[in-house]
Structure formats: C-alpha cells, structure tokens
Amino acid sequence: MKKVLVLEDEDNIRSFVVINLKRAGYEIIEASDGEQALAQLRRNPDVKVALLDIMLPGNMDGFEVCRRIRASDSQIGIIMLTARTQEMDKVTGLMTGADDYVTKPFSPAELTARVDALFRRAGGEAFNDSGELVQPPFRLNTRNRTLEKNDQRIKLTQVEYSVIKLFMENPGKALSREEILDAVWGRDYFGEVKIVDVNVRRLRIKIEDDPTNPCYVTTVWGFGYKWGV
Ligand code: CA
C-alpha cells in the first residue's frame, strides 16, 4: 500500500488533502500536530511520503518536524505545505531537508502530481542500471542509490540523488535549469525553477570541499550548472 502522512492542523484543509489523495489510491495517516506526526511515523515505518504544514499548534513547526524526520530517515519524500505569503519559507523548508513544496491554495491535480512524482522517485525507478558510476573521488551506486566520496558515505535525499545522478551521467556538459527540472522533477511539474538552485545549494554543502567555492558542481551563469570532476 502506498502510504502518505498528512500533517495539517486545519481540519478542512486536511480533509481536502486526505479525500483527494485517497481518491488517487493512497492510504493516508493523519496528524494535526508535530508530536502526533512523529509518533505516527514511528508506528508506520512504511510511510513513503510526508506532507507537512508549516504553521502548527504546539512547540514544533513544520520545519522542526522536517528536521527531525530527516535526522533519522534520508529516504522518505517530504513535501511542505506553504502559504502564499511565506515566500522565504519555501527555501527554508528545502534547506531543512524537504524535497518539494506546494503553495496553498493548491488544486487536487497539483497535489496528486507532486505526491506521485515523489513516489516514483522513492521506489518506482526501474533497476535498469548497470550499478555504478565512478568519477573519483565520487562513486555513485545506482542499485542501492548511495553516494561515496573518498569511500565515505554521503547521505542524500531522493531528490539530491536524482540530481547528482543526472550530473554524473553528463560530465562536463552545461545543463540548463529547465533541463534539470524536467529530468528530475518531471515535465508535468508545476513548480518554479528556483527549486533546482536550492537543491544544488544543498548538494554542494554535502559534496564540495568548500561549498562557497564549488569545484564539482559549477555555475554556468544565466544558464544552469555543470558537473566538472
Ligand atoms: Ca497550519
């Protein structure tokens, strides 16, 4: 069963989300505050995607919940539910480890498309790979979806994995932001191209010797990025 956790304190929004995701074939676990959400995840370790509202009652907001989930699970897909006025929250949310965000009010089609995309990435990808991409000091294992740098494991989210895989498959080639967005998020993605920049920034923090002066993922000004090992 495809399980999704929905953390949202406003009953009418949560019902709207739950009804639409059920209609799309998902099993839903509900929570209305952060403590509940973390408890539900402990009880349901097979949850593959979590939707997290940001403004919540109690002493934990959605960012904190996201941070705590990520501290123990790099594989689960996380989508933040943001309000239109919380422009900066999108970036903050992605930097705390979320994979995506949906801005309220959202349509059922948009929401379902985002959840579907994360599910595809979290396990649906076919095992049609030979197994390894090696470009010293990096070694990407495409069977168990892990990255090593100088034989040290680097923990990646599903999205970060997809981004670096794309880079490693295209060494030395300048990739436009749109190209990266299409390849990683899919052509039916509704979001903004800025999500590419945020994920690249996060990836750099994990893989570069000096993230402020990147030498692996370099910027191609006004265009996109290039993998230069
Ligand atoms: Ca709320």
* 56, 49 Cβ separation under 8 angstroms: no
Fold agreement (2-122, 132-227):
no
- Give pairs for 175-183: CB < 8 Å, separation 24+: 175/224, 175/225, 175/226, 175/227, 176/223, 176/224, 177/223, 177/224, 177/225, 178/224, 179/224, 180/224, 180/225
Ligand 1 centroid–CA 106 distance in Å is 15
Ligand 1 centroid–CA 55 distance in Å is 4
Ligand 1 centroid–CA 201 distance in Å is 28
Average pLDDT over residues 83-104: 74
Q: What percent of the chain has pLDDT over 90?
A: 57
Ligand 1 centroid–CA 128 distance in Å is 41
133 pLDDT exceeds 70? yes
Ligand 1 centroid–CA 62 distance in Å is 9
Confidence of residue 118 (pLDDT cuts 50, 70, 90): confident
Domain ranges of the chain: 2-122, 132-227
CATH number of the structural domain 132-227: 1.10.10.10
Ligand 1 centroid–CA 76 distance in Å is 22
Distant-in-sequence, close-in-space partners of 20: CB < 8 Å, separation ≥ 6: 108, 111, 112
130 pLDDT exceeds 70? no
Ligand 1 centroid–CA 229 distance in Å is 44
State residue 110's pLDDT score: 87
**Residue range 188-218, pLDDT digits in tens:** 777 788 889 999 999 999 999 999 999 999 9
Ligand 1 centroid–CA 123 distance in Å is 30
CATH number of the structural domain 2-122: 3.40.50.2300
- Mean pLDDT value across the chain: 88
Confidence of residue 125 (pLDDT cuts 50, 70, 90): very low
Ligand 1 centroid–CA 53 distance in Å is 6
Tell me, yes or no, if the pTM score tops 0.85: no
